[in-house]
Chain A
Amino acid sequence: GAVVSQHPSRVICKSGTSVKIECRSLDFQATTMFWYRQFPKKSLMLMATSNEGSKATYEQGVEKDKFLINHASLTLSTLTVTSAHPEDSSFYICSASLAGGPYEQFFGPGTRLTVL
């Protein structure tokens, strides 16, 4: 099956620092990757859609300068939380869909970010 990995799985950082999260599709090419944010006991909130080789499309209310997304290859997308603050603490999940394939999204295991 299609496998998506995320790294790191957990990160704790000081306020004001930047954190980079990687999302990789391990055994398939993904022209599109998605970044979600999830608060405790809440559903997934789509932050942005990341297309290989082009700028990401951000959802309304998501600051593109705060959450930098790069999709440099068909198997890697990165999310950088810049100048992180405690309110950025959350569970960040990426997903990928198969290029030219069915509609299912395959999710990574998530990254727990804690900003002190």
Chain B
Amino acid sequence: GQNIDQPTEMTATEGAIVQINCTYQTSGFNGLFWYQQHAGEAPTFLSYNVLDGLEEKGRFSSFLSRSKGYSYLLLKELQMKDSASYLCAVRDPYSSASKIIFGSGTRLSIRP
């Protein structure tokens, strides 16, 4: 089975940096996604990691360690609009249909 863990809630200050961690225990691995979801809206793609290391994309970076079953999403220069849920998801290696399994999500609140 698949088990994906991330903190339920986090709070950070505008302009600061926040790191959202995700750990996974899966019977196989074929890539990890991070999605952002604002309340009442659909998720939007942030990043995809399949190899170890850091992927940087503007203010957002995502890191993966396959040996540790660990990833984090790093958000820099936080803005109020970054208040949202952040979903960690792992691609099912035994599915030929790009099936991905979502973690429970981390609700991030940004304070002024």
Contacts and interface: CB of A to CB of B under 8 A. Distances in A.
B97 A32 contact: yes
Contact of B102 (A44, A106, A110): A44
A110 B97 contact: no
Size range of the chain A interface in the assembly = 20 to 34
Interface string B95-106: 101111111110
A43 B34 CA distance: 13
Given A97-B97, A109-B41, A104 B87 contact: no
Interface in A63-92: 91
B87 A34 contact: no
Nearest to B6: A43
A49 B97 contact: yes
Contacts of A109: 41-42
Contacts of B41: 109-110
Interface in B81-112: 85, 87, 91, 95, 97-105, 107
B33 A107 contact: no
Determine the interface band of chain B, counting residues with CB < 8 A from chain A.
Answer: 20 to 34
Interface in A87-109: 91, 93, 97, 102-109
B87 A107 contact: no
Interface in B35-64: 40-45, 48
Contacts of B104: 42-43
B48 A104 contact: yes
Nearest to B98: A97
B43 A49 contact: no
Given A42-B104, A43-B104, A108 B42 contact: yes
B63 to A, nearest CB: 18
Contacts of B95: 49
A112 B42 CA distance: 11
Nearest to B44: A107
B45 A44 contact: no
Most buried by A among B30, B48, B91, B98: B98
12 contacts: A41-B107, A42-B104, A43-B105, A46-B102, A49-B97, A51-B97, A91-B40, A97-B97, A104-B48, A105-B100, A107-B43, A110-B40
